[in-house]
């Protein structure tokens, strides 16, 4: 019988509409990786030294006094952290920081970036832990934005698209 398989599942007659197995596996892998990274932040600029463990250093960072009314992270909400990335010259490797929840992760990122903005002597920067595909999409969008008039356009990373600031119309999308 056309469209039948030996395991009893029927396939559509039009093979073009069948979701390719490789694409399905990639999509599942991406979803699993996104879930695993949902509570992680990447922290740049924390010196590597033997005097203080990285977890203690990160927990100490979140207790820094800040004049702004900004949400804070409790040191106990940072579960663990570890160094990642290659060693380049004397540059410190980045830290992956795992928080209790994704909301705590976002609060942590906002806090670190706000503190670093006001304290010029702190070369810190934090961002979400992105998958390889998300980083590639960001590179493509920034490349396309540089081709357009950057003053008139902005990137919406969640929608993987570039929009016009005045009309709010989508100008470019990775998944049109």
Question: Tens digits of per-residue pLDDT, 147-158?
Answer: 876 678 888 777
**44 vs 126: CA distance, rounded Å:** 6
Distances (CA, A) of 108 to 40, 51, 57, 134, 145: 10, 24, 14, 20, 28
pLDDT in tens, 27-46: 788 888 888 888 999 999 88
Q: What is the pLDDT of residues 11-32, one digit of tens each?
A: 444 444 444 556 788 778 888 8
The reported pLDDT for the residue numbered 15 is 46
Model confidence at 105, pLDDT cuts 50, 70, 90, reads very high
Question: 58-95 burial string, b = 16+ CB within 10 Å, else e?
Answer: bbebbeeeeeeeeeebeeebbeebeeeeeeeeeebbbb
The whole-number pLDDT of residue 100 equals 94
Both tokens of 69, joined, read 């009314």
């Amino acid at each position: 019988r056309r469209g039948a398989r030996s395991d009893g599942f029927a396939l559509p007659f039009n093979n073009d509409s069948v979701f390719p197995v490789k694409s399905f596996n990639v999509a599942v892998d991406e979803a699993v990786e996104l879930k695993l990274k949902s509570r992680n932040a990447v922290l740049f600029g924390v010196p590597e030294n033997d005097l203080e463990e990285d977890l203690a250093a990160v927990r100490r960072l979140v207790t820094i006094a800040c004049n702004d009314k900004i949400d804070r992270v409790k040191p106990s909400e940072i579960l663990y952290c570890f160094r990642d990335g290659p060693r380049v010259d004397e540059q410190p490797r980045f830290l992956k920081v795992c928080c209790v929840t994704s909301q705590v992760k976002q609060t942590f990122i906002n806090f670190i970036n706000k503190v670093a903005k006001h304290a010029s002597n702190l070369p810190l920067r934090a961002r979400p832990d992105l998958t390889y595909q998300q980083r590639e999409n960001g590179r493509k969008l920034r490349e396309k934005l540089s081709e357009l008039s950057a003053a008139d356009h902005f990137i919406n990373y969640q929608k993987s698209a570039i929009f016009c600031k005045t009309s709010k119309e989508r100008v470019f999308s990775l998944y049109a």
